[in-house]
Structure 1
Amino acid sequence: MANLFRELRDPETGRWVPKEVWYRVRGAIAVLLSLGVLLGGGWFVYGKVRDAWIDYRTAEDYIDPAGVADVVVEIPQGASTNKIADLLLAADVIRTAKAFDRAAASDSNVRKIQYGLYKLRTQIPAKTALQMLLDPANQIKNQFKIREGLRLSEVLTSLAESTKVPEKDLKAALKNRKAFGLPSWLGSSDEGFIFPDTYNLPLKPTATSVLKQPLGEFNKIVQDLAFEERANALGYKPYDVLIMASIIEREVFRDEDRAKVARVFYNRLAKGMPLQSDATIAYSVNKTGTIWTSDADRGKKNKSPYNTYQRKGLPPGPITAPAKKAMEAALNPADGDWLYFVPINLDTGETVFSETYADQKKAEAQLAQWCLATPANRKKCA
């Protein structure tokens, strides 16, 4: 520093040399200006890069989690991530499908999105949309139920009442089986495949959109159970096993008895005995809600092919749409030599299985005793 000042003074007089001072000041100013330019340019470049990045991100995705307006989106059964992204994009919930795909790829819970109606917001980030779909509070619970054990006429009446779709439209839609991808091995009857469960009502119900859900569920259950392959391995056509499952659905009180009842009926078929199923008799005479039948119902005057007291073999079609447990029992009957069964307590469903007719008569006597025990019991046995 001392040397610097000496260079700026005249060595003889010791005075400041203006010219040297100016050179030095000018040089310093030049350096400072250069630094300013560099710093300003860097900040300018940084700003441009930052703005470009924000523009890139917002071009793909919305940024405000609050969104703009409420919107209802319907997620169909079995929808893939790509399908969900397309539906959200069409409703202006997300800005691009790519943004939702990226959000879904980072969250394994995307597989837990259920089908149904969802209350969402338009123009929200894809990640926010995903979180809203995973929150049950955003699902609109507008459902219809198909109960187990109902015959087709009861199911269609119930569906028409709960969905406001005319019953005639539902009947007409059932005729187009290709539209629902139903198995080719099904028989001509429309009974047996409107799968019992609870479903979400479509946003704009039509006969096809309403039926698509239970028929789609039937297709899924058939695939899950490997129904056709296991039926063939059992030595029966898949449609025959479906008919068997429908009888089990109506005959059995307790889950633990399903496979045993299946074995009884398969044993009777193998021996050439009539099934003698009261459930099929009730179907033949159009009795609903009960499987109790009279001697007249079971007699020879009843020429119905569903009169399994007078006709051997399986009836020509199902008598209801069986639930999965009944289908599983029909595919996997228990081991045993039983030929008969009868419930002996209609409250608990306790059932006795017998190999001989003599033992069956003893069990029937137990049922008769239970029926006479109280007025309430007599009413249940009527």
Structure 2
Amino acid sequence: MSNRSPGEIRDPETGKVDFKEIWYKARAAFAVLLSLAVLGGGGWYIYSKGHDAWMDFRTAEDYIGNGVDPVQVTVPKGATLRQISDILVAADVVKTAKAFDREAEANADSKKIQVGKYNLKTQLPAKTALAMLLDPKNIVRNRITLKDGVRLSVQVAALSKATGIPVKDFNAKLKDWKKLGLPTWAKNGAEGFVFPDTYELPDKPTAANVLKLATDQFNVVATDLNIEDNANALNYSPYQVLVMASIIEKEAGLNDDDRGKIARVFYNRLDPKLWPVGRLESDATVAYANNITGRVFTTKAERQLDSPYNTYLHKGLPVGPITSPSKKSLDAALHPADGAWLYFTVVNLDTGETLFANTLGEQQANSAKLQEWCTASQANRDKCNGK
């Protein structure tokens, strides 16, 4: 029996290292470490397999994380939430339509997703993808706004500037205007049918597909207003109503309620019982005939220009629209206000205040108020003279 205490590795008699003792101790230590390794490895294996199973469960329908690669996705006009989810799946933004549909159903704001192109990422959690679609900062803006109350040539110039497509390309398509999808009752070209609105431009714009954005929208508005039936109820053709609306658009001030009254004035002037003269006498049509913009009044010489658009010389409506009317003016032309007015004049160009009259005497008094406003200051004189 050894007289050495545990831990001693030298022979007490010789003082030499006892390698046999070292071997015994090392073997015992190895056994302990091996046991710990087996126990630890088994635990890690179980943890690893459990974690993998949990991750598989979590990602079966949805991605996790912050996304991977930048991607642009387009939400087309009229797309439903289900169609949007399919678009996102196709672009690998979300993993399944089910995941996005679930998030969209739980978020009432999902119905507010706008039409347009979005900067997103691939492999996003559905909740994150929905939040990005609801954030206007992620919309790629490639839009153009066509103003109401401007003639076709002005709209074409704006379209050319926004798309880089030469004006001549647009004009070439406009010459073949019957291929632009205009209503069957359209006449005399596309003037008045290129509807003023804001449009998302195509990725690859052409003169044809850009023009059709606006002409298609005109058809949508015309259908919404039931322009054909309502025009017939007035004993006018839809095209005549469009011409009337284009004049109202140029003559109206800032008060939308005046549009219906202006419509009534012009319809009254087309009634031979109320206005035997038979002429609209609209300065807006004379300005169009003379290619004048930015001026309220016309001169005597301009009103003598022999043009089918000069309603001081020719009876009835001009041969075509003089501008692109807004939906408000189209509605006014279809639903004129009730009244016996034969005259109107704006009396304040800043506020758009407009006065209506039944008699020439009343009109002359109202015109005097306009002249008073025009001479009240140099700024007013400049506005009246179109400066």
CA gap 1:146/1:72 in 2 versus in 1, 3 angstroms: same
Distance between the aligned counterparts of 2:212 and 2:86, measured in 1? 20
The match for 2:265 is: 264
CA gap 1:178/1:344 in 2 versus in 1, 3 angstroms: closer
The match for 2:349 is: 346
CA gap 1:108/1:187 in 2 versus in 1, 3 angstroms: farther
The match for 1:296 is: 301
Distance between the aligned counterparts of 1:193 and 1:88, measured in 2? 35
1:80 equivalent in alignment to 2:80:
yes
**Is the contact made by 2:146 and 2:197 (CA closer than 8 Å) also made in structure 1?**
yes
The match for 2:159 is: 159
The match for 2:331 is: 328
2:373 equivalent among 364, 370, 373 = 370
**Residues 155-164 or 142-151, more deviating:** 142-151
Offset, 1:109: 3.7
Offset, 1:78: 2.2
Offset, 1:158: 1.4
| Pairwise CA RMSD | 2.9
Distance between the aligned counterparts of 2:155 and 2:298, measured in 1? 22
**Is the contact made by 1:245 and 1:329 (CA closer than 8 Å) also made in structure 2?**
yes
Where does structure 1 lack aligned partners over 5 or more consecutive residues?
Answer: 1-43
Question: How do 1:1-382 residues align onto structure 2 when only pairs under 5 Å count?
Answer: 54=56, 58=59, 61-97=61-97, 100-101=100-101, 103-105=103-105, 107-174=107-174, 181-254=181-254, 255-271=256-272, 273-299=278-304, 302-382=305-385
**Residues 134-143 or 170-179, more deviating:** 170-179
**2:132 aligns to what SS in structure 1?**
helix
Distance between the aligned counterparts of 1:244 and 1:333, measured in 2? 11
Distance between the aligned counterparts of 2:190 and 2:184, measured in 1? 13
**Is the contact made by 1:246 and 1:318 (CA closer than 8 Å) also made in structure 2?**
yes
Distance between the aligned counterparts of 2:95 and 2:171, measured in 1? 41
CA gap 1:212/1:86 in 2 versus in 1, 3 angstroms: farther
Q: Write the deviation string for residues 214-233 of structure 1: whole angstroms up to 9, x where unpaired.
A: 33432332232222222222
**Is the contact made by 1:77 and 1:213 (CA closer than 8 Å) also made in structure 2?**
no
CA gap 1:74/1:174 in 2 versus in 1, 3 angstroms: farther
CA gap 1:352/1:184 in 2 versus in 1, 3 angstroms: same
The match for 2:22 is: none
Distance between the aligned counterparts of 1:367 and 1:210, measured in 2? 41
Offset, 1:311: 0.8
Distance between the aligned counterparts of 1:97 and 1:176, measured in 2? 44
TM-score normalised per structure 1: 0.77
Where does structure 2 lack aligned partners over 5 or more consecutive residues?
Answer: 1-45
Distance between the aligned counterparts of 2:315 and 2:251, measured in 1? 18
Offset, 1:70: 0.8
CA gap 1:195/1:372 in 2 versus in 1, 3 angstroms: same
CA gap 1:241/1:362 in 2 versus in 1, 3 angstroms: same
For 1:205, the aligned partner's letter is: P
**2:375 aligns to what SS in structure 1?**
helix
**Is the contact made by 2:248 and 2:262 (CA closer than 8 Å) also made in structure 1?**
yes
For 1:293, the aligned partner's letter is: T
CA gap 1:243/1:116 in 2 versus in 1, 3 angstroms: same
Q: Write the deviation string for residues 5-60 of structure 1: whole angstroms up to 9, x where unpaired.
A: xxxxxxxxxxxxxxxxxxxxxxxxxxxxxxxxxxxxxxx9xx99x969947x856x
Distance between the aligned counterparts of 2:378 and 2:354, measured in 1? 21
**Is the contact made by 1:74 and 1:202 (CA closer than 8 Å) also made in structure 2?**
no
CA gap 1:101/1:229 in 2 versus in 1, 3 angstroms: farther
TM-score normalised per structure 2: 0.76
Offset, 1:117: 1.6
More helix by share: 1
Distance between the aligned counterparts of 1:338 and 1:116, measured in 2? 46
The match for 2:17 is: none
